[in-house]
């Protein structure tokens, strides 16, 4: 049987087609697990996160407007990791060095407030020129390929590459004190 596109699977999912959900589950389980495990470093916690994300996809199937399934699921998994950390540390803010560092697996992440980091990143992205910002968001948030971005914005692939380079350079310069931690957002 020929593999269906994500778009076709999403259409079937919106119609409560369980076989479409099963296909999405099998297609993305390992990728999502790798994202979660890379941050949480425990099998059970990573499995819980992936189950949460995929269960939410089924429950919210009619209300979601997903254009790029892979990007959506990866982003949802990243946010679910932070929800998982919050559940595991209900009485400990993320600045509790011993526990947070074990969970986040990023050097000195225990001294950063995730929400402030995300807000600061958002402010810097907002300062990018419009086309540059759109290219960056399509690439990093939606995980579009350079070719897909070029088609969507009617640009050449070289122009897309130039905008990405410009955006990353801007963010590296403006966020140099926290840039190593931003890999989680990309």
Tally helices (H) and strands (E) across the chain.
Answer: 9, 0
All structural domains of the chain with their residue ranges: 1-106, 112-186
pLDDT tens per residue, range 2-36: 568 999 999 999 999 999 999 999 999 999 999 88
Instruction: Report the predicted TM-score, pTM, of the whole model to 2 decimal places.
Output: 0.53
Residue 103: what pLDDT? 42
1-106 is classed in which CATH architecture?
Orthogonal Bundle (1.10)
Domain at 112-186, CATH class: mainly alpha
For residues 98 and 165, is the Cβ–Cβ distance under 8 A?
A: no
**Residue 96 pLDDT > 80:** no
Residues contacting 27, CB < 8 A, separation 6+: 9
């Amino acid at each position: 049987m020929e593999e269906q596109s994500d778009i076709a699977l999403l259409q079937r999912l919106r119609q409560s087609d369980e076989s479409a959900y099963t296909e999405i589950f099998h297609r993305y389980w390992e990728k999502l697990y790798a994202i979660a495990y890379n941050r949480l470093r425990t099998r059970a916690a990573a499995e819980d996160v992936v189950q949460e994300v995929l269960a939410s996809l089924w429950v919210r199937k009619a209300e979601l407007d997903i254009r790029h399934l892979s990007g959506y699921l990866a982003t949802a998994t990243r946010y679910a990791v932070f929800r998982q950390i919050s559940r595991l540390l209900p009485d400990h803010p993320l600045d509790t060095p011993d526990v947070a560092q074990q969970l986040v697996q990023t050097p000195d992440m225990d001294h950063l407030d995730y929400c402030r980091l995300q807000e600061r990143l958002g402010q810097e992205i907002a300062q990018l020129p419009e086309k540059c910002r759109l290219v960056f968001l399509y690439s990093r948030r939606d995980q579009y390929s350079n070719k897909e971005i070029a088609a969507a914005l009617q640009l050449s692939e070289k122009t897309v590459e130039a905008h990405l380079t410009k955006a990353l350079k801007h963010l590296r310069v403006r966020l140099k004190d926290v840039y190593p931690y931003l890999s989680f957002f990309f």
